[in-house]
Amino acid sequence: MNGIDLFVDTNVLINLAEGKSGVDQYLESNNLFVSIISEIELLGWHKITSPQKNYFKNMLSDCSIIGITNPVKELSIQLRQKHKVKLPDAIIAASAMHLDIPLLTFDKGFEQFKDLDLIVIY
């Protein structure tokens, strides 16, 4: 594997699919990790079309999908106890923290987690 390891938030993949410029520069040639939560968010959208579903499945096939392990579960619980955060975001942040790799996101809300290595795209 070449490049750096990055944990990718759902919103990055959505912005990439929508053609937002500059997103691909972060993803190209890097090792991408995605939470199972992001996979569910992307593929479980009630208005997803068949071409969109195929696009996201193809995109996700290039990523390592990370499930909810006991350490991720425990860290998610701690994050929710300390911060006002939605469960999906807690799981995504906890997953990146557990793997000790940067989280790539458009969401500035992740800045509240001081122990999270974060790359916010502006």
**Which tens digit of pLDDT belongs to each residue from 13-28?**
999 999 998 898 999 8
Q: For the chain, how many structural domains are there in total?
A: 1
What is residue 1's predicted lDDT score, i.e. its pLDDT?
57
Q: Low-confidence residues of the chain, pLDDT below 50?
A: none
What CATH number has the domain bearing residue 88?
A: 3.40.50.1010
What is residue 21's predicted lDDT score, i.e. its pLDDT?
86
pLDDT tens digit sequence for 79-90:
999 999 999 999
- Residue 68 belongs to domain spanning: 5-120
C-alpha distance from residue 98 to each of 20, 47, 55, 113 (Å): 29, 32, 28, 13
Distance CA 33, CA 8 (A): 6
pTM metric for this prediction: 0.93
Distance CA 93, CA 75 (A): 9
